[in-house]
A and B are shown apart, each in its own frame.
Chain A
Amino acid sequence: MSEKAILLVEDNPDDVELTRIAFVEAKLANRLVVVSDGVEALDYLFARGTHAARDPDDLPSIVLLDLNLPKVDGREVLQAIRASERTRSLPVVVLTTSAEPFDVEASYALGVNSYIQKPVDFEQFVWAVKQVGLYWLVLNQPHETG
């Protein structure tokens, strides 16, 4: 299992806590890195701003991306990830409350790997996050970069 980080881009502290609990229950011991807006997400990924000290080649194994974020929203973050040579093949899973068809369509058009609507029900939520984690961190063979 990869020791790389899981980057959670989420501004709602409740959802951050619930996602953390779900990963604990899923026994996915990876470091969960949480950023709370789109700007910080991009700073982390491109090792700049408050994350300038980071090794830019140390990319997370997966990005869990909320769509509605302060400052730079999830679509723009996704666009920036796909536009950069280094982050182009990074797995990005949209994990959001919206199931609006235009959000789903826009996300796939921008090259998202997967789109998950966060269930309201706690058990279902934990189950969904576990499945995402298991699939992308355990089952999926990542594209080796760098």
Chain B
Amino acid sequence: MQIAAVGRRLCQPAAAACYRAFTLFTLDLHDAVASVSVGIPRSDHVTDQREEARSDDSGSQGSRTDESRSDDRFRLAMQSSGIGMAIVDVDGRWVEINPALERMLGYDAAELIGHAAAEFTHPDDIVMSQASMADLVEGSVAALDAQKRYLRRDGEVLWAHVNVAAMRDEHGRASYLIVQLRDITAQRAAEQTLRELNEALEQHDEQRSEQLQAINRQQELFAYGISHDLRAPLRAIDSFAALLAAQADQLDETGRDYLGRIRAAAARMSDLIDSLLELSRATRAELRLQAVDVSLLAEWAYAELADAEPERAAEFEVQRGLFALGDERQLKSLLHQLLHNAWKFSRERERVRIHVSGERQDDRLLLSIRDEGAGFDMRYADKLFEPFQRLHGPEQAGGNGIGLAIAQRIVERHRGRVWAESEPGSGSTFHVELPAAAMDEDEA
């Protein structure tokens, strides 16, 4: 809400006459525009130019009538206005009150007129109100547009959006103040509720963040516990089984088979613990984002696989210059998991064939890791990335079911996507979408 125009000059010095009626101001109240015309009877001024024009036949009597009409129009406007309106003298006392304001404050006009507006102002807003009024009277501000609180008769607080304009005499001195008030108590209450809601939400967020930190910490301790306390007995199981196996001549074939099974089980459990730790790390480790050469990471991960099984015939092709924006350590783990998967499921092939390619689409890098291995049934594609879900048994080179879950966790943390397509018997392609690194001049 704002005052669009504040009164025209009351007097025309050249004509030495004053208009009594003029448009004081126009109010723009979001959805309604109200023009307020007001005339104030001035005992020390005589004529209106229009009156002068007609004075020949109507004389001073005509002047009185016109003045009264002007007053009547103003009073009518005040009376019928839905907006609280008042005239206040320069000392801050109510002079006139309209019915809308009576209703807003809960007082009759008679109870207000002659009293200082400050008496009905909320104690906390009195100083601000009086200072603003002084500025207005003095003329340093043209009009006031503010929110302040009044006290209703029933003791409730009335929040009002207040517009005040000063009417000045020919010397520029303020004679009266025209006050318009709009009840914004409900609006303020709604704002307050919203604020409280936001604060409550913020507090809730803080609490949640604290809870998350506590959960993270717990997970860290849990992972640490797994790392230490679960591996130590496992080492004892494997080692003493190995020492027993060294005395194999005292065992029959069944006994040796059992020892072999004990050690194989210990190895699987060790592998599972490593994978769980890696999954936990992928979830909670802080990401350090930088431009990462994914092609290089793929070569590195492949080299590790080839080194571990040097007797395996393998072909590997990687497209150069694929850069992602990510955490190098985690992306290395991602490439390891995906290539390990491709390698593992190519076990039944004469040659392992893995092909890594990619393309940049705007600010995303689309990676494809293609193998010519066993493939999988697309009906189970949604189970691929869930921990402990296996599509292959151990005899089909099935792993511990965590590798692809780790891959997915890493991709998710990079706000990317991973999905796979396959045809049983002809291989699989894993697609990864990651944020691309700026690979222009900087990288060159």
Seen from chain A, the residues whose Cβ lies within 8 Å of a Cβ on chain B are 12, 14-15, 18, 21, 68, 96-100, 118-123, 125
A99 B270 Cβ-Cβ under 8 A? no
Chain A residues with CB under 8 Å of B270's CB are: 120-121
- Which residue of chain B lies nearest to A14 when distances are taken between CB atoms in the complex? B236
- Closest residue of chain A to B235, judged by CB? A120
* Contact of A97 with B243 at beta-carbon distance under 8 Å, contacts A120-B238, A121-B238 already known: no
Q: Report 19 cross-chain contacts, Cβ distance below 8 Å, ordered by A residue.
A: A18-B239, A68-B228, A97-B231, A97-B232, A98-B227, A100-B223, A118-B235, A120-B231, A120-B270, A121-B238, A121-B267, A121-B270, A122-B235, A122-B238, A122-B241, A122-B242, A123-B242, A125-B235, A125-B239
8 Å CB contact of A98 from B228, B238, B242, B243? B228
Q: Are B227 and A119 in contact (CB under 8 A)?
A: no
Question: Judging by beta carbons under 8 Å apart, are B228 and A97 in contact?
Answer: yes
- Bound CA span A125–B263, Å: 14
Q: Which residue of B lies closest to A21 (CB)?
A: B243
Q: A140 CA to B240 CA in the complex, in Å?
A: 31
Partner of A15 from the list B223, B235, B267 (CB cut-off 8 Å) is B235
Is the beta-carbon distance between B235 and A14 smaller than 8 angstroms?
yes
Complex Cα distance A121/B266, Å? Answer: 8
Given A14-B236, A18-B236: A122 and B243 within 8 A (CB)?
yes
Rounded to whole Å, the gap between the CB of B80 and the closest CB of chain A is 77
10 closest A-B pairs by beta carbon, nearest first, are A122-B239, A122-B242, A14-B236, A120-B270, A97-B231, A120-B235, A97-B228, A98-B227, A18-B239, A120-B234
A21 to B223, CA, bound (A): 29
Q: CA–CA, A123 to B228, complex, Å? A: 19
Chain A residues with CB under 8 A of B233: 14
Q: Which residue of B lies closest to A22 (CB)?
A: B239
Say which residue of B224, B227, B232, B267 sits within 8 Å of A14 (CB atoms).
B232
Shortest A106–chain B CB gap in Å is 12
Q: Which residues of B contact A118 (CB under 8 A)?
A: 231, 235
Number of A-B contacts defined by CB within 8 Å:
52
Known: A96-B228, A121-B238, A122-B239. 9 other contacts (CB 8 A): A12-B232, A14-B239, A97-B231, A98-B224, A99-B277, A100-B223, A100-B227, A120-B235, A122-B242
In the bound complex, CA of A96 to CA of B270 (Å): 15
A126 to chain B, nearest CB (A): 8
Residues on the B chain within 8 Å of A98, using CB: 224, 227-228
| Interface residue count on the B side (C-beta < 8 Å) | 20
Considering the chains assembled together, what is the distance between the CA atoms of A102 and B236 in angstroms?
25
B interface residues, Cβ below 8 angstroms from A:
223-224, 227-228, 231-236, 238-243, 266-267, 270, 277
CA distance A121 to B239 in the complex (A): 7
Cα A96 to Cα B229 in complex, Å, equals 11
Query: Taking A14-B233, A14-B236, A122-B235 as contacts, is the C-beta distance between A97 and B227 under 8 angstroms?
Result: yes
Contacts of B239 in A (CB 8 A): 14, 18, 122, 125
Question: For the complex, what is the distance from the CA of A121 to the CA of B267, rounded to whole Å?
Answer: 7
A-side contacts of B241, CB under 8 Å: 122
Q: Are B232 and A15 in contact (CB under 8 A)?
A: yes
Give the distance in Å from the alpha carbon of A125 to the alpha carbon of B235 in the complex.
9
Report the bound CA distance from A12 to B232 in whole Å: 8
Residues of A close to B227: CB separation below 8 A: 97-100
Closest to A119 in B: B235
How many Å from the CB of A122 to the closest CB on chain B?
A: 4
Query: Nearest residue in B to A98 (C-beta to C-beta)?
Result: B227
Give the residues in chain B near A12, CB-CB below 8 Å. 232
Q: Who on chain B is nearest to A120 by CB?
A: B270
C-alpha spacing A145/B242, complex, angstroms: 40
A15-B235, A18-B235, A97-B232 are contacts. A120–B243 as well, Cβ < 8 Å? Answer: no
Identify the closest chain A residue to B236 (Cβ): A14
B contact residues around A100 at 8 Å (CB): 223-224, 227
Most buried by B among A99, A100, A118: A100
In the complex, are the beta carbons of A120 and B228 less than 8 A apart? Answer: no
Bound Cα distance from A119 to B240, whole angstroms: 14
Please name all residues of chain A whose beta carbon is closer than 8 Å to the beta carbon of B234 when the two chains form the complex. Answer: 120
Interfacial chain A residues near B236, Cβ < 8 Å: 14-15, 18
Nearest CB of B to A141, in Å:
32
Interface centre among A96, A98, A120, A123 (most CB of B within 10 A): A120
Within the complex, the shortest CB–CB distance from B286 to chain A, in Å, comes to 11
Contacts of A14 in B (CB 8 A): 232-233, 235-236, 239-240
Of B232, B243, B270, chain A has the most CB atoms within 10 Å of the CB of B232
**Alpha-carbon separation in the docked complex, A125 to B266 (Å):** 14
Cα-based distance from A138 to B267 in the complex (angstroms): 32
Give B231's nearest chain A residue, CB to CB.
A97
Q: How far is the CA of A115 from the CA of B306 in the complex (A)?
A: 26
Cβ distance B333 to chain A, nearest Cβ, rounded Å: 12
**Could you say which residues of chain A place their CB within 8 Å of the CB of B231?**
97, 118, 120
Most buried by A among B236, B267, B277: B236
Chain A contacts for B235, CB-based, 8 A:
14-15, 18, 97, 118-122, 125
Which residues of B sit under 8 angstroms from A21, Cβ to Cβ? 243
A125–B236 CA distance with the chains assembled, in angstroms: 11
